[in-house]
Amino acid sequence: MIVAGILIPFGLFFAHSFQNNSGVNQNSSTVFQQQMLPGETIYKKYCISCHQPDGGGVPNMAPPLIQTSYVLGEKETLIKIVLNGLKNVDINEETYNNPMPALGAVLKDKEIADVLTYVRNSFGNKASAVTTDDVKKARAETKNKS
């Protein structure tokens, strides 16, 4: 690509952070990028029907994923929600009654890490990645309490 008479390799031109049409914050970190695409695929398969394409959720049914403390806060809390499910929760003085199924038996640790990294860095969110080790640790703690 040539910009202002300067030859710029195509990959370098797009290597900086930007936001694409899906509302996903892009980051040049290879590890981060390796989680975002699979995370988006998992989100579309398991999460989109309740939390919606824009992460806005459904009033009184499924909570939003946009700039909320439980998405941007402690990773362990969010991981345990995916592992164990959640029902009848109050968030920001609004009650959500649609139960979220436990996905711990359905999704592998890497899949949970990928989808949560996607959620924590989409819809205007910007938070640290969730690692497979984070999920393994939370899963072990959950098993120990059973």
List of domains in the chain: 29-145 (1.10.760.10)
pLDDT band at 13 (very low <50, low <70, confident <90, very high): very low
pLDDT band at 74 (very low <50, low <70, confident <90, very high): very high
Average pLDDT over residues 127-138: 97
Which of the two residues, 88 and 110, has the higher pLDDT score?
110
Average pLDDT over residues 55-80: 95
Dihedral of CA atoms 122, 123, 125, 131 in degrees, nearest 10, equals: -30
What per-residue confidence (pLDDT) applies to 15? Answer: 34
The predicted model scores a pTM of: 0.78
Strand partners, 71: none
Task: Quote the percentage of the chain above a pLDDT of 90.
Answer: 66
**Closest to 25 (Cα-Cα) out of 63, 58, 56, 66:** 66
What per-residue confidence (pLDDT) applies to 10? Answer: 37
The answer to whether 111 and 42 are in contact (CB under 8 A) is yes
Q: Are strands 94-96 and 2-3 parallel, antiparallel or unpaired?
A: unpaired
Rounded to whole angstroms, the Cα distance separating 111 from 107 reads: 6
What per-residue confidence (pLDDT) applies to 142? Answer: 83
**Closest to 75 (Cα-Cα) out of 123, 32, 34, 130:** 130
